[in-house]
Structures are given as structure tokens and as C-alpha cells.
Amino acid sequence: MSTASYGAEAKPRVGFFTDTTVCIGCKACEVACKEWNLIPSGGLEWTGESYDNTSQLDANTWRHVAFIEQPKPLRVDADGADPPDGQPEPLRWLMESDVCKHCTHAGCLDACPTGALFRTEFGTVVVQEDVCNGCGYCVPACPFGVIDRRDLPRSPQDAPLALPLLGTKEDGRVWKCTLCYDRLKGGHEPACAKACPTDSIQFGELDELRERAQKRLAKLEGEGWNGARLYGDDPGDGVGGFGAFFLLLDEPEVYGLPPDPVVPTRHLARLWRTTALAAAGLLAGVALAFAGGAE
Amino acid sequence: MPGLGTSFGRGGATTNQQDLANSDCIVIMGSNMAENHPVGFQWVMEARERGAEVIHVDPRFTRTSAVATRHVGIRAGSDIVFLGGIVNYILTNEKWFDDYVRRYTNAPVIVHEEFVDAEDNGGLFSGWDSDRRKYDVTTWQYAGVEVHGAAGQREQGFKGSHVKGHAAHGAHGGGMSSGNPPERDETLQHPRCIFQILKRHYARYTAEVVAETCGCSVAEFEAVAETLCRNSGRDRTSAFAYAVGWTQHTVGVQYIRTASIVQLLLGNIGRPGGGIMALRGHASIQGSTDIPTLYDILPGYLEMPHTERYDGLDDYIDRSSAERGWWGNAGSYMVSLLKAWWGSAATPDNDFAFGYLPRIDDDHSVYWTVEQMLAGTVKGYIIAGENPAVGSANGKAQRLALAKLDWLVVRDLVEIESASFWSDGPEIESGELRTEEIATEVFFLPAASHVEKEGSFTNTQRLLQWHFKAVEPKEDCRSELWFYYHLGRKIRERLAGSTDPRDRPILDLTWEYPTSGVLQEPSAEAVLAEINGSDSDGKPLGSYKELKPDGSTSCGCWIYCGVYTDGVNQAARRKPRWEQAPVAPEWGWAWPANRRLIYNRASADPNGKPWSERKRYVWWDGRKKKWIGDDVPDFDEQKPPDYTPDGDAKGPDAISGSHPFIMQADGLGWIYVPQGLEDGPLPTHYEPHESPFRNRLYEQQSNPARQTTDLAEDPYSPPGSPVYPYVVTTYRLTEHHTAGGMTRFLDYLAELQPAMFVEVHPGLARERDLRHGDWATIVSPRAAIEARVLVTERMRPLHVDGRTVHQVGLPYHWGTRGRTTGDAANDLAHMALDSNVHIQEVKALTCDIRPGRRPRGAALPKFVRDLRERAGAR
């Protein structure tokens, strides 16, 4: 990732540190995001997945709060002892506001053939909705399943091609969190961070957020928080570190996050090398065959 | 409101949400603060980050429990046992804050010799009249205090709350009838002193009884009591936060009273990080009692005149003002109110138009009114900002009542169920009502939202905050202010020239407000200025201390006097907190007198010194001869700590320099309430009106003074009925607001909780064959509703009286209209009420739950009736 091409206009890289230990699951982030970015409703399906009825990040959900009920204690004593007699069975309810990770090495950006996806001067990854042609190459390139094509309900205005008015039609484009690029341009923090009442979503310069997260983790570990860990703060990981990283209380899979995300394009060099080798082998075989035939 | 009012003197939260960050321990009980007050909850989280304990005691494991340091599950309706257990724990283990209790509370006061405690009388206090189902409070009084016999008798002769003066609605306690100093025993040993009565009263609330009644373990209870005591005292403070999880019971006021006793014993009132945070459920619910939408009080908690009381203004003032304490100035407040309303028409010669005030002659509370609608005596109804067809207890009775009206006006943002009951209500589907037979003429008037008008909110902590208009209201939508101003203007135009004396009160009203714009919107700031008050030159007043009883000042609500100081809208101040003192006195404006933490004289010891350096807040500066500190002192600024009133002193001068509760006649925090409550001077556990259990503490099953109806539409389940074996409790979700009018109709909120659901434990699901994601039918003696099943470990089963009891959780946001629709949980609820405040008991009732959807059409009422008959419910 580089914002070098912006020259003097490049800004320090910004992002989110989402601290799930203070999240109260109010979903203000989801609503503020939709309000600011004018995102269509995601539908009225009751899922029965605890209090989560949006289920995942997709074209119409750029912030998603996961709810996980677990038979585990929120904190454990330093010696890992079981709760004392007379205390109820352990129970905790984890809540986590998920968002696009704005990867250092962004698969979506690498895969985009039109230049609709670009790296902003803030180091974030944004889709230009007026450039995207809906090819969808970016969709499988995201190791988190974040970027997504938008389907729209059919309406009578779609006639005659929409007849009969069944199913959905494609908006034709892909959508995801822009880290409120327009707000950043105006010197404001993103809508979700602004709306978060408990500062679970913290916005700022990434370097500073990473330092803050390390201190926070050390404090929580000292207090015996069960399973506290950072996720996506390591620049050495498969996507070169997240622009939006997290403090979790369990394995990433528990939250529906990949444990070891890798940007697909990281394998490109190796893939091409293998391909080249195979091609060379093939050519050599062909050449040998011809050579043999000449006898 | 009366729970806090009778204990401390004012019916508002004693603290503010920001100050919770200074707590060492926060007990959240009767509230799901994280879900319903998410913005204010940031200060709870801040306290936790600073190392405070956050304890959530609640029937359910909620989003609040999820971030608390401890959750204790208890049976809905058993809170007084849990809190009474804490009182007993404090007294048994000698954990009370001795100096505070002896000097600042009525613990040493000796009570009337004929007083009999519930302890010795099967759960009833002395003075119970079983025919009238009311208490005569004579024997509850302090020894040596003469009761106004005639007044007492007369005032208790009416249905509803009619004890002496202001204490009637308990908004501010005080109101002792005599200036005689009470008898005290400073050693706290006298058998009739309040401290000893308290000890005996709560002796049976042992940890074992708590465990067996509430369903938690002894260890869980003791951990809470121990943590609370450990974090209270000179150096540390603990706070309580509650909401309607406490108030919505037939003994709800006494829940709050029990917490008040705990906080007085531990010395946590009037101190930073302490207090009782009453969390109100709407943006301006506190405001709607300060400038009331209630029938029995006037602005600033002045008493509403009664047809059979008060010969005139002097009589009203004489009887409704306490001789001692701040209510001694009630005359100034009342005359200034009359001047604000009737201006030059209010003169000393006509009692300042006191005769113009409407009179009440009975209970006129909302459930009483619904009964009258059903009886056909109330024929017209205006509903504004309410949705009783969904939000009030016994939805069917509500809707049947609406169907009996001649006319109905509904003002709301959208066409809510209370406006559409005649076309799509559940009774239309079941055939109990037929559209063509409903004669009610319904007028729906679209309302402007808060961004389409300016005005003030008075929030949960008495803080007035101004909001500005962002956009013009669309189409026919209008603000409340527009509606009532122009309604009044048109009525006055119709009456112009009338010589009928009964029209004078309307024609003489001060009704001139500047209007602006195409819509002729009245100026909200002009209304605020009138509420603030002015002197005879029209100069805005700065404090209620400037109010006079001679007609030279006007003031629309004395406790709000000062909100327009110097002609500046103080409620509109928005200085960021980092540019001002820690309590942020320049953000908005709080009543009274911009005090953020009230009774703060108690943050200093009797000599005026902070109890500790860590908890210093307001103290006596001996050099400057005044009280100073972080906040506006809630005390006469110049009154030294050693001030002792002489026997003849009246009003505020009668309060000692070391008595912090200046609204009380004796300046003390009331552990024991001799008058002001309908159902007892000390909180006592009674089972909810409907309960699967017998009261294990007393013979008396339920609150004897609770109000019940005789309506056929409101039958009750007998105690312990096997037909309705489960406890059901109702609540809100973050994603929706109360009866749903503001949220169910919005895509972005509806999609977050898109269906009515019921929360049950896996054990109950097995017991009743309920499947996660399928439907269930929940039935009470009043109604049956259906909901999607959410099976969750968060609905922990409890062990009560040797058996397992399951609780059923129901959010109450749904109705027949909006983007998401569903059955209304409140249809299940009954109309039994707390006698002090006429509030319904929707937090603890009984039900049965069965798999599958409910019957349709005429089969539905039959299903409900068959079960009811089997249970013998009447």
C-alpha cells in the first residue's frame, strides 16, 4: 500500500480500532452508516441469531454488529480458577461491530480491472460508484467476504424486461464501507465512530491506534479478561495489516472472521512462477517430442 | 417520583449520568440501561474502565448484563426482598455510615406510640381500613408531632392520593403539619426510634430468604451486598440506577424507597459518585412531570386544587405549604404561577384568580379515565404522543374503550394503532368489534418531529437542553406548540365578547406569543421566558428566591426560574466540557438553580468539611463565610454549618445548618416516611398482583393498597394458578422505542428487530415443546398473543420455594401497523395499579406458553376464555 502518488496531498493513514470489550450492541453504528451513506434497507427477515438480524457485511450493510452467546466467563482469575460455589454457570454475550478492513494489501483493489477501486490519500480503499462496471472480480478477491454486488427489488418501472416482477435485479455495482471518504475530506470522523456512545469504535491515525490497542490489551490482560487478543494489527499478516482492526475476546472464527486472511494476489508471483515453470516444462516436452521425432 | 420525593424531598434523580463515572460501584436494577439509555451508559463504561464494579440485578441477562462486572438473576417482582436483604446485611454487619445516618437521616426520630409495624401484623401496618382499602396514617407519624386531624380526615376521604399537601403526590415529601420538633434518641436505642424499627422490620429479610424468594443463590446475594458496602463510606461512593423495571409494579414506589433506605444507610446521597439515578424512558418525561401532564399537580409540583378543599388562596397556601423547609415559600410560587397565567387579571382582590384554576374531584388518572370511557361517561379523548392501543396495559380494554367514544383526536408522527383500531385492530379480526358499528369519530392530526420544531427537553437528570429547528415540517404536520396555541386562540376568538363568567378564565389568559413564518409558528423561546418568570418591569428573574407572594413577580414554573436569566436562553448553552469545570455547569441548564447533583450539602460532614479528599464536592469556606465547591451548593449559601434554628423559625430558616435535605420539613433524609405514601412507611415485600407464588414473608399476599378494577375486561389469575405457571416480564429493545410509533415505521430501525419474539430458556422450550425460530402462543387471563421463539441461555431459570421457575421475556413494541408488525405484549397485562402513582404492573405477571400460532377469528377469545374459566380467574 502506498499513498506516495499523492505527493504533498498524502495524509497520514487512518483507520478504526474496534474495541469489542466496551461494545453494548446498540447498533447505532449500523444506523448512522446507513443514514449517512444512504444505503438501502437490507430487508425484514428475522433470523433468530441472537439479536443479530443483519447477519453479515454485504452491499447494504457496511457496519454489522455480531452477537455471540457463550457459556464462558467474561473474566477469569489470574490462576484460571472456576467460579466459586453458588455462582451461576458462566455466560457471556459478545458483541462486535464488523466493518471493511481497508487492508494494506487489498485484494479487491488488486483485482479491479477498471480502476473503480482506488487507494485514497488517507490510505483507505474506496469504490467509485460512477466508474464501477459491475464485473465482480473484486468479490472473490476479498478474503473477508466484505465487498458485494447489490441486488435491487424489481419494480414496475423495470418493465418490460423485468416481467414477470419476480426476484431481484442487479444494481450492477459493488459496494462497501468507504470509511466515510466524504466526511474525511471535510475533516470529520466517520459516521459510525461519531455515533458510537461507548467509544467501542475508535477512529484515528493508524499508528496511534495500534499503540493505543497494545496498551489496552495489556490492561485487559492484567484484569483477567478471558481471551482478549488483537486481530489485524500485525503488518506482517496475510494482508499486510488491517486499516480497521479489532480487539476480540475469542478466536476470530467465533465472530465469523477468517483466522488467517491472505490477500489472493499475494500468491500471484508464486502462481506465475509455477505457471511459467509448467509452461517451460510443456515447451521442453514438446521440443523433446519433436527432437525425438527427428530421429 | 414519590419514592425519591418522600425520601429526599424532590421527585427527580439525585444525580446525573455524567457523575456515574465517579462511582466506585454502580448497581443497575429495574433498568436495562445499556439498551435503553445507550448514550448515558458511556459514563457507566467509563466508571468500569476506572475500576468500578458494575452490578446488574435483573430477571434477564441483557446487553447491560453483558458488560457488567456481575449479573445476578432474580425473579421479576421480588426486588424488595433483595434490597431489604441488603438493608438487613448492612444492619447486621454494622456497615452503615454512622455519622451520616445519625446526623442526616431520621433514624434517631421516635415514632408514634400506637404505630404497629407490618412485622407484627401479618404484613399490614397500623391504620388499615379493609372496607375502604386505605390506610389512616395517623399512627405512622413522628411522636410529638400533632397531625392536622381535620385536614387528615378530609384529605383521606377521597379515592386516590390525598395525604397532606405536597406530600400527596410525594414529589417532594416534607409537609410536616406542626412546627414541634420531633422526639429523638441520639443513641439510636429507643425501641420506637426509626433505627430500631428498621432493624426489626428487615430482620426477616435474611440471605436465605432472599435466595428462596428471588431465586438467586446466597453467595450471589452476599457478593452484591458485600461489594456495595465495601464501596461506600467516607472514601468511596456507590450509585443506584433504576428505570420502569422498578416503577411498573403494584408496589413500585416502595422498590425505589428501599433503594433510598440503602443509600441513606450507606451515606451515598448528595455525594459525587453516589445517588439514585432515575432513568426516564423518553426524552422529556422528567419535563412532563415538572410542567405536568399529570392531573393532580400544577407546574413545579404545586398541588392541584380540589373541589372540596381550600376556601381560597390563603387557605390553599396555608395548608399546602410546610411551615419549615423550602415549601414554606409555596405562596410565592403559587401567586407567581397565577400571575404568569392570568397576568393583569390576577389581582390581590380576586385571590390572584385562584378561582380560575380547574378543580379535581376524584381520581382522574389514565386508567380511571379508560374505565370511564368503557362506562360511557367520558365521551371525548385527545391522545398526543401516546399509543395506548399498544403501549398501555390490557390493550383490549384500551381499544374497546376507544370504540365507545364519540370523538377521538390522535396527534402523532404516523397513523398509529390508537388511531386505526377501528379498521385493523385485533378485535376486528376476532369479530369482537365491527367497523360499521363503531361510532367513534377519529381525527388524525399529523405532528411535527423534534427536528421540525424548536423547544426544550428536560432529560432524565433534570437537565434542560434546547433543540433548534432543522427543517420545516412537511404538509399538515405541526408542532405541539402550534397546535395548542392556535387551538387556544380559536377558542378565545369564539368566546370573544362573552359575558358568561365561566368563560372568563379562558378570556383572561395571557395568550400573546409572537409568531413567525408561513405557518405562524409561536416562539418557543417566548414560552420559556414566561416559564422562567419576570418582575413587575418585565425583567427576567434569575432565581426562585426572587419570587414574591404579592403579585409583583410572575413565573410559570418556579423550579425552572433561572433558565432565562439575563434574558439569555440558558438551556441552549453548549460549551464543550473540555472548556469548563468538571460538572459542566455551562452545558444546558438543570433545575433547581442549575444544580447538577442535589442535596450536595451532604457531601460535607456536619461541620462543613469534605468527608474525604477523594470525595470532596461542596464544602463550607470559613474565611469567605459561604458554601463553595464544584457545583452550585444545594443549601442556603450563607448558612453556616453550626446554624441552629430557634423554635419560631419558619420556612428555610427552620432548617439546621447541618441538615442537607432542605425540601423536607426537618431537613433530613427519610428512612421512614411518616406521611406521603399510600401503602406504608417502610417498604414491605408483597407478591405481584399475579404471581405463581404465595408471599413467603407475610400472610398478606399482595400490596393491600393496590388499585384494581372491577371490569369484566380485566380479569385476574388467582395466586399460584397452575393454568398460568410462568412469570412473564415485558421490556424494550434498543432498536425500538416504546409503543413503536417512532421506529416500527422506519426501515433502518425495523430491519434491526423485524419481528415480535419471545425469549425462553432451553429448559422451558423442552418443557413446552417450543422450537427456536418457530412460533409460540403466550396466554394470560386477558389475551393470547403469538411471537417467534428465541431460545436462549440468557433467560436463566430460577429456583424459588424449592422448585424451578421459568420466566418468559416479551418486548412490547409491536402492533398491527408499520414496516414490521406483530402482536402487542401489553394485551396480556392487567390494569392493577400502584396506589401512589396509578402505574400499571407490566413487569411481573403470569402466563402460559404453548407451541404454534394463536387461534384466529372467534376461536381466539374462546381460547382465552376457556383457559380463564379453568383457572377460576374472574
Secondary structure in 3-state letters for A190-237: CHHHHHCCCCCEEEEEHHHHHHHHHHHHHHHHHCCECCCEEECCCCCC
Q: Which three cell numbers stand for residue A125?
A: 480503499
CA A8 – CA B112 distance, rounded (Å): 84
Is residue A173 less than 8 Å (CB to CB) from chain B? no
Q: Which three cell numbers stand for residue B402?
A: 376507544
Among A144, A159, A110, which Cα is nearest to A260's? A144
Listed in sequence order, the residues at least 6 apart from B2 whose beta carbon sits closer than 8 Å to its beta carbon are: B11, B169, B170, B171, B253, B676, B677, B836, B837
User: A46, A69, A212: which to substitute to probe chain B, counting the most B Cβ within 10 Å?
Assistant: A46
Among B636, B656, B638, which Cα is nearest to B646's? B656
Q: Which three cell numbers stand for residue B765?
A: 422450550
CA B778 – CA B814 distance, rounded (Å): 15
pLDDT of residue A268: 77
B804: enclosing H helix or E strand: strand B803-805
Report the first-to-last Cα separation within chain B, whole angstroms. 32
Q: How far is CA B363 from the centre of its chain?
A: 18
B417-B833-B280 Cα angle (round to 5):
65
**Could you tell me which chain B residue has the CA closest to the CA of A46?**
B754
Q: Which three cell numbers stand for residue B513?
A: 406569543
Q: Smallest CA–CA separation between A203 and chain B, in Å?
A: 17
Among B531, B629, B626, B620, which Cα is nearest to B571's? B531
B124-143 burial: b if 16+ Cβ within 10 Å, else e: bbbbbeeeeebbebbbbbbb
Listed in sequence order, the residues at least 6 apart from A83 whose beta carbon sits closer than 8 Å to its beta carbon are: A73, A90
B318: enclosing H helix or E strand: helix B313-320
CA B186 – CA B651 distance, rounded (Å): 25
User: B17, B732, B748: which to substitute to probe chain A, counting the most A Cβ within 10 Å?
Assistant: B748
Chain B neighbors of A54, CB-CB under 8 A: 751-752
Among B207, B268, B201, which Cα is nearest to B241's? B268
Q: Smallest CA–CA separation between B212 and chain A, in Å?
A: 13
- Asked whether the beta carbons of residue B793 and residue A69 sit closer than 8 angstroms, the reply is yes
DSSP one-letter code for B126? T
- Cis-peptide into A164, omega within 30 deg: yes
Lowest mean pLDDT among A202-211, A261-270, B148-157, B189-198: B148-157
Lowest mean pLDDT among A138-152, A202-216, B52-66, B135-149: B135-149
What proportion of chain A, given as a percentage, has pLDDT over 90? Answer: 74
Chain B neighbors of A24, CB-CB under 8 A: 34-35, 38, 41, 45, 63-64, 66-67
B430-B443-B304 Cα angle (round to 5):
100
CA B759 – CA B792 distance, rounded (Å): 7
Q: Which phi-psi region, left, alpha or beta, contains residue A134 (left: φ > 0; alpha: ψ -120 to 50)? A: left
- What ipTM was reported for this prediction? 0.92
Q: How many other C-beta atoms can be found within 10 angstroms of the C-beta atom of residue B392?
A: 24
> pLDDT confidence of A164, banded at 50, 70, 90?
low
DSSP one-letter code for A270? H
CA B794 – CA A92 distance, rounded (Å): 9
pLDDT of residue A81: 54
- Asked whether the beta carbons of residue B63 and residue A25 sit closer than 8 angstroms, the reply is yes
CA B140 – CA B148 distance, rounded (Å): 13
Is residue A82 less than 8 Å (CB to CB) from chain B? no
B525-534 burial: b if 16+ Cβ within 10 Å, else e: bebbbbbbbb
Q: Which of A35, A75, A91 sits opposite B61 (nearest CB)?
A: A91
pLDDT digits (tens, 9 = 90+) for B417-472: 999 999 999 999 999 999 999 999 999 999 999 999 999 999 999 999 999 999 99
Is residue A76 less than 8 Å (CB to CB) from chain B? no
Chain A neighbors of B58, CB-CB under 8 A: none
CA B275 – CA B290 distance, rounded (Å): 20
Report the first-to-last Cα separation within chain A, whole angstroms. 55
Question: To which residue does cell 390506610 refer?
Answer: B135
At residue A277, the 3 state secondary structure works out as helix
> pLDDT confidence of A88, banded at 50, 70, 90?
confident
pLDDT of residue B311: 80
Is residue B217 less than 8 Å (CB to CB) from chain A? yes
Is residue A26 less than 8 Å (CB to CB) from chain B? yes
**Could you tell me which chain B residue has the CA closest to the CA of A53?**
B752
- Asked whether the beta carbons of residue B217 and residue A86 sit closer than 8 angstroms, the reply is yes
Is residue A3 less than 8 Å (CB to CB) from chain B? no
**Could you tell me which chain A residue has the CA closest to the CA of B72?**
A88
User: A72, A94, A198, A247: which to substitute to probe chain B, counting the most B Cβ within 10 Å?
Assistant: A198
CA B232 – CA B239 distance, rounded (Å): 9
Chain A neighbors of B55, CB-CB under 8 A: none
Q: Which of B64, B71, B754 sits opposite A53 (nearest CB)?
A: B754
- Asked whether the beta carbons of residue A53 and residue B753 sit closer than 8 angstroms, the reply is yes
CA B15 – CA B279 distance, rounded (Å): 11
Interface of B with A in 769-828 (CB under 8 A): 772-773, 788, 790, 792-794, 796, 819-820
Let me know: does B114 contact B674? Beta carbons within 8 Å: no
Q: What letter represents residue A105's amino acid? A: H
Among A229, A198, A218, A294, which Cα is nearest to B47's? A198
CA B392 – CA B386 distance, rounded (Å): 9
Listed in sequence order, the residues at least 6 apart from B641 whose beta carbon sits closer than 8 Å to its beta carbon are: B604, B606, B607, B608, B620, B657, B658
Q: What angle, rounded to 10 degrees, do the helices at B218-230 and B79-92 form?
A: 60
- Greatest CA separation found in chain A? 90
Averages of pLDDT over each 10 residues, chain B, 874 residues: 90 94 98 97 97 98 97 97 98 98 96 96 97 95 65 30 36 42 88 97 98 96 98 98 96 98 98 96 88 92 86 86 77 97 97 95 92 97 96 97 98 97 97 97 97 95 96 96 97 97 96 96 98 97 96 97 98 95 95 96 98 98 97 96 88 91 92 94 98 96 95 93 96 96 96 98 98 98 98 96 94 97 98 94 97 98 97 86
Among B690, B750, B689, which Cα is nearest to B725's? B690
> pLDDT confidence of A84, banded at 50, 70, 90?
low
Q: Which three cell numbers stand for residue B349?
A: 382582590
CB pairs under 8 A between A and B: 110
Let me know: does A230 contact A247? Beta carbons within 8 Å: yes
Is residue A27 less than 8 Å (CB to CB) from chain B? yes
Is residue A128 less than 8 Å (CB to CB) from chain B? no
CA A161 – CA A176 distance, rounded (Å): 28
pLDDT of residue B153: 29
CA A127 – CA B755 distance, rounded (Å): 34
Structure pTM? 0.94
pLDDT of residue A156: 66
Let me know: does B240 contact B279? Beta carbons within 8 Å: no
User: A38, A63, A91: which to substitute to probe chain B, counting the most B Cβ within 10 Å?
Assistant: A91
- Asked whether the beta carbons of residue A92 and residue B734 sit closer than 8 angstroms, the reply is no
Q: Which of B41, B73, B218 sits opposite A24 (nearest CB)?
A: B41
Let me know: does A242 contact A83? Beta carbons within 8 Å: no
B283-301 burial: b if 16+ Cβ within 10 Å, else e: bbbbbebbbbebbbbbbbb
- Asked whether the beta carbons of residue A24 and residue B793 sit closer than 8 angstroms, the reply is no
CA A286 – CA A229 distance, rounded (Å): 54
Q: Which of A35, A71, A87 sits opposite B219 (nearest CB)?
A: A87
CA A157 – CA A166 distance, rounded (Å): 13
User: B226, B752, B789, B795: which to substitute to probe chain A, counting the most A Cβ within 10 Å?
Assistant: B752
Long-range contacts made by residues A251-259, C-beta under 8 angstroms, separation at least 24? A251/A227, A254/A68, A254/A70, A254/A94, A255/A66, A255/A68, A255/A94, A255/A96, A255/A98, A256/A56, A256/A66, A256/A98, A257/A98, A257/A144, A257/A231, A258/A143, A258/A144
Question: B779 forms bridges with which residues in the sheet?
Answer: B784, B848
